[in-house]
Amino acid sequence: LDVPFLPRERRQRLQSLQAMMDRADVTVSEKYRRLLEAYQIELEYGRTIGSYEGTLGEGEDGRSVTFLRLGRVALLYQTRDGKEAGYWDRERAAFAKDNSYRDAVRRGLRVAEKRAAPELLRAPVYAPEVTP
């Protein structure tokens, strides 16, 4: 329910868990181990930076991009030619084009790919909402 990074991989993990839970030939301890393993993977996403290749848009609007995930807080993208960048806008539940983040995405990708030392990056981050 957070930023939509690695959607296929995460969906497959969830479907695999759901299918396994109904199987009688899998022990309860194995089900528990696999469930904890999935939680640990999801928890790890929250404290790491990562990048992956993907497609943004569909049909004629589709383009190959490199996604940059900053924990579970921000998901940015940049086209392969580096001319377009943007971020996941949680309020609109869609990607928003914003080329002002091009340099930050480029630097972030270098950090994620371990080609540069970690550094402070400028990225769109939503402030937590206060509930009464």
Q: What is the pLDDT of residues 20-62, one digit of tens each?
A: 998 999 999 999 999 999 999 999 998 999 999 999 988 788 8
Residue 38's Cβ-side half-sphere holds a number of Cα atoms within 13 Å equal to 17
Shared domain check, 97 and 54: yes
The answer to whether residue 117 is domain-embedded is: no
Q: Are 41 and 35 in contact (CB under 8 A)?
A: no
CB atoms within 10 A of CB 67: 23
Residue 115 has phi, psi (to 5 degrees) of -100, 0
**What pLDDT does 112 receive?**
93
Cα angle 61, 94, 119 (rounded to 5 degrees) comes to: 100
Q: Is the pTM of this model over 0.85?
A: no
Whether residues 53 and 76 fall in one domain: yes
pLDDT for res 1: 66
Domain-embedded: residue 18: yes
Domain that holds residue 107: 49-112
- SS3 state of residue 66: strand
Q: Are residues 69 and 81 in the same domain?
A: yes
| 84 vs 78: CA distance, rounded Å | 6
Domain count, the chain: 2
124 inside domain: no
Residue 123 lies in a domain: no
Per the domain annotation, does 119 fall within a domain? no
